[in-house]
Amino acid sequence: MNNTLKMVLVLFFVCLFSAVSLSFLYVKTKPQIEQNKILKEVKFKKQIVPLAEKFEVSQVNNITVEKCYDHENNLVGFLLKSSCRGYAGEIEYIISVSTFFPLQITGIKVITHKETPGLGSNVTKEKFLSQFLNRTSTEIILKKDNINGKIDTISGATITSRAITNSVRNLLENEILNNFVKETIEPKIQSPKKVFKTQQKIYISTQTVNSIQEQ
Amino acid sequence: MKKVIEVFINGLIKENPVLIMMIGLCPFLACSTSANDAVGMGLAATFVLTCSNIIISLIRKIVPKEVRIPVFIVIIATFTTIVDYLIKAYFPALSESLGVFIPLIVVNCIILARAEAFASKNNVFLSLIDGLGMGAGFFVAIVLLGIIRQFLGSATVFSSKELFSNPAVIMILPPGGFLAAGVVITIIKYIENKLTNKKPTSNLPEGCEGCTLKSRCMELLNK
């Protein structure tokens, strides 16, 4: 009995010390890890919209949309950040889309994923992601799912490829998002009242940018 | 002092975990695609091995025999997670290239083997030296393989400057790992056999000649 109690106590205290020290270190390193993730995102943004210098963040129905302007304040594209459920967890990605209809993808990068190394992890490779470039939503479907599809599946990682392909397609076909893009591109064609409305929206969104920066 | 040097040299050369004992081959093959990754993996594994050796040696007298393996694993896993967090926070590029192999240090059998065979039976200082020695042995082996594979496979060593054109890409793919590791281990075995044949081993049972654990058994027999 005594021996059993000793076994339980030793295991308990070893695990307790381990848990305490790990949670301490987790809290200590978390800000730095988050910082690294943000730096990586900024780097990816530069890569997929090289012309962009100014970003305007707004939330459209749970999707983070960033309008990108170059140094002369011309709209050069939209950055959309989204995530989908892959084989082993969330896959976070950013895409940049064209400023004309039908919406085309001009760049795509995977930020974080937890897929199997060597199989699912190939979603981050150019070979797979470059297939999305200059495609519209009707073409973004796996070749094996639809004859009109233009995306080759990664061998051994059908679930991962299908998840990201379908998620990107749904994002491009999102009606609210399309309306938002339409309003941003063509404010002049609409009636004066509507122009006022869009201006108000832009104003609000810059406010949110400021508030985010203040935080 | 003599004992300290003996323990260190034992880990580095005589019982080199990878090249002589043939344990911990998974990270040896998987993380040697480039010399930089190999250095990162070697240092990470050495850190975990040394720290877990110290802690296990400290608590060796209060841990009941029945639960020693779970206790060792918890300690090793704790240090591995510490390394994982630190690399993620301060060396993001290394964390990207090593990926899942850092968490897999938990199941690196060198570390559990040293905990069981050495740290749980010796004092703290000797366990520290053993951790450093075995870690150095692993480090030397994996960096050696990393340099060979990176040189042949991508024509670079520690930098992005190409030394010659048309490298053999297969050397940085999994088959190249087996090829390079096989050649390195063959050379080491050849040298080892040359050296040990000078001192004939007398009282070994039959079939022990080619065994990798021969030197360990000899020690036990002599006791």
Report if residue A158 sits inside a domain: yes
Residue A20 CB coordination number (10 Å): 10
| Residue A167 near residue A151, CB atoms below 8 Å | no
Report if residue A110 sits inside a domain: yes
Residues 6+ apart with CB under 8 A from A181: A78, A97, A99, A101, A103
Distances from the Cα of B95 to the Cα of B89, B92, B140, B154, angstroms = 9, 5, 21, 21
Asked if the Cβ–Cβ distance from A29 to B99 is below 8 Å, we say no
Residue B92 CB coordination number (10 Å): 16
ipTM value: 0.73
Report if residue A97 sits inside a domain: yes
Asked if the Cβ–Cβ distance from A14 to B89 is below 8 Å, we say no
Query: Which residue of B lies nearest to A29 if distances are taken between CA atoms?
Result: B89
Gap between the Cα atoms of A80 and A95, Å rounded: 5
Gap between the Cα atoms of A148 and B203, Å rounded: 75
Report if residue B119 sits inside a domain: yes
Which ranges of B91-157 does DSSP label H, i.e. alpha helix? 92-98, 109-114, 124-154
Asked if the Cβ–Cβ distance from B85 to A121 is below 8 Å, we say no
Report if residue A1 sits inside a domain: no
Joined tokens for residue A168:
């990107």
Report if residue B70 sits inside a domain: yes
Gap between the Cα atoms of A44 and A108, Å rounded: 9
Number of domains, chain B: 1
The residue whose two tokens read 């795509």 is A108
Q: Which domain holds residue B7?
A: 2-194
Q: What is the pLDDT of residues B16-35, one digit of tens each?
A: 888 888 888 888 998 888 88
Secondary structure class of B204 (helix, strand, coil) = coil
Q: What is the pLDDT of residues A38-55, one digit of tens each?
A: 888 888 888 888 877 777
| Amino acid type, A190 | Q
- Residue-level pLDDT, tens digit, chain B, 223 residues: 788 888 888 888 888 888 888 888 888 998 888 888 899 899 999 999 999 999 999 998 888 888 899 999 999 999 999 999 999 899 888 887 787 788 888 888 899 999 988 998 889 999 999 999 999 999 999 999 999 998 988 888 887 777 888 888 888 888 889 999 999 999 988 888 888 765 555 566 666 766 777 777 777 777 7
Q: Which of B58, B63, B79, B85 is the best substitution to test chain A (most A C-beta atoms within 10 A)? A: B85
Report if residue A74 sits inside a domain: yes
pTM: 0.72
Report if residue B100 sits inside a domain: yes
Cβ-in-10-Å burial (0-12, 13-18, 19+) of A189 comes to exposed
**A71 φ, ψ to 5°?**
-65, -15
Q: Half-sphere exposure (CA, 13 Å, Cβ side) for B55?
A: 20
| Residue A16 in contact with partner chain B when CB distance is under 8 A | no
Q: Is the peptide bond before A102 cis (omega within 30 degrees of 0)?
A: yes
Gap between the Cα atoms of A139 and A146, Å rounded: 9
| Residue B105 near residue B27, CB atoms below 8 Å | yes
Number of domains, chain A: 1
Indicate left, alpha or beta for A162 from its phi (over 0: left) and psi (-120 to 50: alpha).
Answer: alpha
Gap between the Cα atoms of A51 and B115, Å rounded: 56
Q: Which domain holds residue A155?
A: 45-214
| Residue B11 near residue B133, CB atoms below 8 Å | yes
Sheet holding A63-69, edge to edge: A54-60, A63-69, A75-85, A90-97, A105-112
Report if residue B204 sits inside a domain: no
- In whole numbers, what is the pLDDT of chain A averaged over residues? 79
The residue whose two tokens read 């203040």 is A214
Indicate left, alpha or beta for A84 from its phi (over 0: left) and psi (-120 to 50: alpha).
Answer: beta
Asked if the Cβ–Cβ distance from B64 to A29 is below 8 Å, we say no
Query: Which residue of A lies nearest to B60 if distances are taken between CA atoms?
Result: A10
- Of A125, A130, A127, A159, residue with least CA distance to A142: A159
The answer, yes or no, to whether residue A204 has pLDDT greater than 60, is: no
Q: What is the pLDDT of residues A141-154, one digit of tens each?
A: 888 888 888 888 88
Name the residue facing A25 among B74, B85, B92 (closest C-beta): B85
Gap between the Cα atoms of B128 and B124, Å rounded: 6
